[in-house]
Chains A and B, each alone.
Chain A
Amino acid sequence: MLIMHELAVTESLLQVVLRHANEGGAGKVVSISVRIGGLSDLVNEWVQRYFDHLSRGTIAEGAVIRIERIPTTFRCDQCGHVFPADPRTREAIVCPLCSSAEMTLATGRECFVQQIEVV
């Protein structure tokens, strides 16, 4: 069986969540907000499934994971304009302001826990 990288990411997620919940004196974790860049191939459904399995018997059991996707954006090397674009398109990507094709990835690789709701 191939263990997908969602499992490793979810293990890391659980550790981070439990540490912050314990430090905050929480009795139970209700929800977890995660922000993931648009370039990541993480599949939401698998993250939740693995989490449900891994968190059994912990105070995070049953927590709902809300995954917010951060759009992939580019910064134009010529005029500095930041604009969203889908790197998966076959079309050429150009700056909507100055039409330059020289650009640098600005966002899309993020992967972090934003906040947790606890009781």
Chain B
Amino acid sequence: MVEVRLIEVREELLAENRQEAGDIRAELRRHGVFMLNLMSSPGSGKTSLILRAVRALKDAFRIAVIEGDIDAMVDAEKMVREGIPAVQIRTGGACHLDAPMVAAGLKELDLAALDCVIIENVGNLVCPAEFDTGAARRAVILSVPEGDDKPLKYPLIFSVCDLLVINKTDYLEGSDFDTEALKERVLRLNPGIRILLLSCRTGEGVSEWTRWLAGEIEAFRNS
């Protein structure tokens, strides 16, 4: 009879990803570059929010974008047309960006000439939440048409982010979207999260978002 032995492992899964994310963080720290990992469902306004921020802050900060897409170049082309340095990472089917993919993207950028990198993650509320990309801050966008129940369905992503942007507030009127219930659901998972309401379409509240980003870039530089 063969004897079965027990080996205690007690090791975190994705430890390798975490290690690589740590290396990225150290590298960005050396260059004084703030990185934001921006996540949301497809169509909730990641690209619009980034374009708004870069336009508003272009005289103050040098911002580049890493675009994660399963198999398309559309978003990166949009950025380049605006004169924003952009790297497209096609994940080849994977539903999220992980630390090694982001490291490859950063290699294409001149970090010495940048203040901020924004990662536009793959549109998805599930998988990107599990992977540390080495970003200093994480933000999630939830747009009003998606509904106020998303933190109930995808609690993890709301528990790991520093900022929640509620976009498309121009759709609030006449909808049954309960902003207070949403806030309560998110805050019980993550009491430290900052919540902003805005509409990229009308521009209402957008300055709060750009102020938040500018403050984070400054704070990172001075820390």
Q: Do A and B come from one complex?
A: yes
B159 and A13 contacting across the interface, CB-CB below 8 Å: no
Give the chain B neighbours of A104 by CB distance below 8 A.
Answer: 191
Q: What class of interface size applies to chain A in its complex with B?
A: 35 or more
For the residues of B in contact with A, the DSSP-based class is: mixed
Q: How far is the CB of A89 from chain B (nearest CB, A)?
A: 7
When A and B form their complex, what is the total count of cross-chain residue pairs whose Cβ atoms lie within 8 Å?
127
Given A4-B127, A5-B127, A88-B153, A101–B9 Cβ distance below 8 Å? no
Give A78-112 as 1s and 0s: 1 = Cβ < 8 Å from B's Cβ atoms. Answer: 00000000011110110000000111110011011
Q: Is the CB of B9 within 8 A of A114?
A: yes
CB of B190 within 8 A of CB of A114, answer no
Alpha-carbon distance between A96 and B160 when the two chains are bound, in angstroms: 25
Question: In the complex, A77→B127 CA distance in Å?
Answer: 29
CB of B5, distance to nearest CB on chain A (Å)? 5
Instruction: Pick from B2, B96, B159: contact of A109, CB below 8 A.
Output: B159
Total interface residues on B, using CB and 8 Å?
43
Are A112 and B95 in contact, CB atoms less than 8 angstroms apart?
no
Q: What B residues does A115 contact at CB under 8 A?
A: 6-10
Contact A92 B127 (CB under 8 A): no
A9 / chain B contacts, CB cutoff of 8 Å: 13-14, 130
Please give me the residue from chain A that is nearest to B9 by CB atom.
A113
Q: Does B11 contact A (CB under 8 A)?
A: yes
Residue ranges of A at the interface with B (Cβ–Cβ < 8 Å): 1-5, 7-9, 12-13, 15-17, 20-21, 24, 26, 30, 34, 39-41, 72, 74, 77, 87-90, 92-93, 101-105, 108-109, 111-119
Interface residues of chain B, those whose CB is within 8 Å of chain A, are: 2-17, 70, 92-96, 98, 126-127, 130-131, 149, 151-156, 159-160, 181, 184-185, 188-191
9 A-B pairs in the complex with CB atoms less than 8 angstroms apart: A8-B94, A39-B156, A77-B191, A92-B184, A93-B188, A101-B184, A101-B188, A105-B159, A116-B6
